[in-house]
Amino acid sequence: MSQAPHPAGAAANSPAAFTSALPSYLDPNNLGPWGIYLQQVDRVAPYLGNLARWVDTLKRPKRTLIVDVPIHLDDGSIAHFEGYRVQHNTSRGPGKGGVRFHQNVTLSEVMALSAWMSIKNAAVNVPYGGAKGGIRVDPRQLSVGELERITRRYTSEIGIIIGPSKDIPAPDVNTNEQVMAWMMDTYSMNEGSTATGVVTGKPVDLGGSLGRREATGRGVFTVGVEAAKHTGMDISKARVAVQGFGNVGGVAGKLFAEAGAKVVAVQDHGGTIYREAGLDVPSLLAHVSRVGSVAGFPQAEVIANDAFWDVPCDILIPAALEQQITEANAGRIQAKMVIEGANGPTTPQADDILHDRGILVLPDVIANAGGVTVSYFEWVQDFSSFFWSEDEINERLVKIMKGAFGAVWQVAEENKVSLRTATFIVACKRILHARDLRGLYP
């Protein structure tokens, strides 16, 4: 019997003959966000010791589901949308991660986001693996009825792999408490019983947790304060620039302002505003809630969107979408500290530029982990049907975030690496240790 050919230079039956880190369904010439994640894993591999033999586990999603999402539009026509749910790793527990509705969502993006969720969950040591989902749709073009129908159909399509002990979705870009309520109801109807624990980020009246909406922004603020203690920065005198002013950037900006900092610039999809003396954050939040963006806020000057990266500040918080800080603008940033409220806002090339310039980057995989931490609290409360006060939630959140950040800081100091690499060291060791203990079945 003839043998199948193996790669040139690879001996038959050698690991190189059977292992390829790149799935066949991705374009090797355009890996997108997944390529960024792979670079991050490669950087951490030398620090994994004996666990490095499992490193390809991190480079392959456990399960990838692509679904067609057909719905009736209000005009009677039928439209089809592409949906995804990716479970990157479940060695430490069920998958956990958000669902985003955005017209530019891709499989590569959802894969990367699911992998960053694996890292994030392990970094704060909650018993979850990483997962993520999305639909290629601009929800602003849908009516409320169409949005409900696309949510319910998507939930039914991915229902075969989600569940309170399998994979627990949550809100992400362009999804919210109402979307989670529809997802929970759809799953429950299909199961024949109410399953509040199938999603987190729900309305409080449906088993949601107090403090969940503010949790990610509160986590951003908490790690910022901890980093300031290590670096000698006085938060009460800091100038802050925020990109994205929703549940993450808005809450973080509010908390920094309450601590005495001046929020001098804010950018969102409506434009960029600036006030050297500091913006009135409560008034701005009320304006954004009423209007939908920072556009038209009267107590600030409008500046060009690209000028946002030149704003003199001490703390920059990118809290919008991926790949916002690139090699094209990283050299212009004047902040002393970047706190990543968004997922993947900094490219590896920009990371290196910021590092070489002495700008401290608090990476997404630890900085914005407050959301999934309180999602974990919500999940626990749903299982027990016993709910905690908001003060208890916030106290537990701050304790976990401080502990996790302290551990990452120590690893960074010991290994003389960036906080991002240090976070990956901590998280990857936890994930791969669990993989090693469980072994392979069968």
Distance CA 260, CA 91 (A): 42
Could you give the C-alpha distances from 215 to 78, 261, 266, 368, 382, in angstroms and in order? Answer: 38, 20, 20, 9, 18
Distance CA 306, CA 347 (A): 17
Task: Write out pLDDT tens, residues 315-326.
Answer: 999 998 888 899
Q: Pick the more confident residue, 118 or 1.
A: 118
Query: Does 344 score more than 90 pLDDT?
Result: no
Mean pLDDT, the chain, integer: 93
Residues 238-249, mean pLDDT to the nearest whole number: 93
Residues 297-308, mean pLDDT to the nearest whole number: 91
Query: Does 14 score more than 60 pLDDT?
Result: no
Tokens of 75: 């005009």
Residues 110-137, mean pLDDT to the nearest whole number: 97
Q: What pLDDT shows up at residue 11?
A: 47
Q: What pLDDT shows up at residue 438?
A: 97
Residues 418-427, mean pLDDT to the nearest whole number: 96
Q: Which is the catalytic residue, given 132, 202, 254, 336? A: 132
Percentage of the chain lying above the pLDDT 70 cut: 95
Percentage of the chain lying above the pLDDT 90 cut: 86
Q: What pLDDT shows up at residue 20?
A: 56
Distance CA 65, CA 86 (A): 6
Contact 100, 349 (CB under 8 A): no
Q: What pLDDT shows up at residue 30?
A: 87
Query: Does 1 score more than 60 pLDDT?
Result: no
Q: What pLDDT shows up at residue 26?
A: 85
Distance CA 337, CA 229 (A): 12
Least confident of 110-119, 182-191, 292-301: 292-301
Give the length of the chain.
442
Q: Are strands 78-89 and 63-72 parallel, antiparallel or unpaired?
A: antiparallel
Residues 232-246, mean pLDDT to the nearest whole number: 94
Name residue, tokens 């999602």.
Answer: 375
Task: Write out pLDDT tens, residues 346-391.
Answer: 988 999 999 999 999 999 999 999 999 999 999 999 999 999 999 9
Task: Write out pLDDT tens, residues 32-81.
Answer: 889 989 999 999 999 999 999 999 999 999 999 999 999 999 999 999 99
Residues 112-119, mean pLDDT to the nearest whole number: 96
Query: Does 401 score more than 60 pLDDT?
Result: yes
Q: What pLDDT shows up at residue 21?
A: 63
pTM: 0.91
Query: Does 273 score more than 90 pLDDT?
Result: yes
402 is catalytic: no
Q: What pLDDT shows up at residue 243?
A: 96
Q: What pLDDT shows up at residue 71?
A: 98
Distance CA 27, CA 203 (A): 40
Q: Which of 229, 224, 235 is nearest to 339 (CA)?
A: 224
Query: Does 248 score more than 80 pLDDT?
Result: yes
Task: Write out pLDDT tens, residues 124-180.
Answer: 999 999 999 999 999 999 999 999 999 999 999 999 999 999 999 999 989 999 999
Residue 19 pLDDT class (50, 70, 90 cuts): low
